[in-house]
Chain A
């Protein structure tokens, strides 16, 4: 680099490209050989995710923003009453699931939102499939789009994460398949007409074309389990949270894409 202005230009360019709103999901593997499910989709589905004006998940993000500002519960408080604008939560989601000191266990983003509702808004919890909860998760997670997934280093999470890792390699269901067999060993190969993804949770909650709607990582994991003809773990079960913890660790450093679109 011969001239100082070349360096300045490169610095500006990198800052612009690295801006979360401009950062696009990668279509190739990173230096650890990981690729997002985005890369396994057809160009038209990728375009659906890239364009916020076409991405159906943005309907839920918009709903989430309204809910964020709506007072609820006997405390008559909105999320913004304590947190301010939702944009202030940029960076929060990338470390989830986290450890909740009060209940002494890991919590997912959805569980954290419900805890806030119970403890601070004095409102009832929302069920895992409630569209309002998914909308709130979507708008909060969306604030961190483009940022790298950074699992919570809290050592109290370790036994749960280890349990998740064990579950990932455990054969399940009538088809007697483990997650690892398809998503580690056979990833990028074809099952039927579909490319098997590596299964990194980079875009949750996301709009799944198969669901014709939005859903969380737990919904997707339950689908996978019924796909191998296993009884799916219940929503919020410790084993599902453990799997989430492991999957997030496995995807550490990959950029968040929320809200993603997937087939």
Chain B
């Protein structure tokens, strides 16, 4: 389980477009770097990220990303969501060596 930090604004009004900021602890080893013994360290990357929004009417994909070795270690991804109502955000990171991490965040709007 890697540490994640997911940030949304504290108060969200219905109809606001908000920025969702995410951080996850992961080395994003490129597969190009030699270790201290000169042997190339094995590639170990997060490859995919997806964020879904679910409410009573169903589940929609808000944002997804394909990541390559050029994404820095401890990947930071920030994207936007138009908050139409209360619901749940599901964030999924997947990558090499069977890496998979899911986080859920409740979204609450004020009228």
The verdict on A227 contacting chain B, using a C-beta distance below 8 Å, is no
Interface size on B, residues (CB 8 A): 15
A residues near B4, Cβ cutoff 8 Å: 59
Q: Are A212's CB and B7's CB within 8 A?
A: no
| Complex interface bits, A58-72 against B, C-beta within 8 A gives 1, otherwise 0 | 111011000000000
The verdict on A53 contacting chain B, using a C-beta distance below 8 Å, is yes
B residues near A63, Cβ cutoff 8 Å: 3, 25
The verdict on B11 contacting chain A, using a C-beta distance below 8 Å, is no
Choose, from B47-55, B56-64, B71-79, B101-109, the stretch at the interface: B71-79
A residues near B78, Cβ cutoff 8 Å: 54
Q: Are B21's CB and A54's CB within 8 A?
A: yes
User: Could you list 24 examples of A-B contacts with CB < 8 Å?
Assistant: A53-B5, A53-B7, A53-B21, A53-B23, A54-B21, A54-B23, A54-B76, A54-B78, A56-B73, A58-B23, A59-B3, A59-B4, A59-B24, A59-B25, A59-B74, A62-B3, A62-B5, A63-B3, A63-B25, A212-B28, A212-B72, A212-B74, A213-B27, A213-B73
Q: Which residues of A are at the interface with B, using a C-beta cutoff of 8 A? A: 53-54, 56, 58-60, 62-63, 212-213
Q: Which residues of B are at the interface with A, using a C-beta cutoff of 8 A? A: 3-5, 7, 21, 23-25, 27-28, 72-74, 76, 78
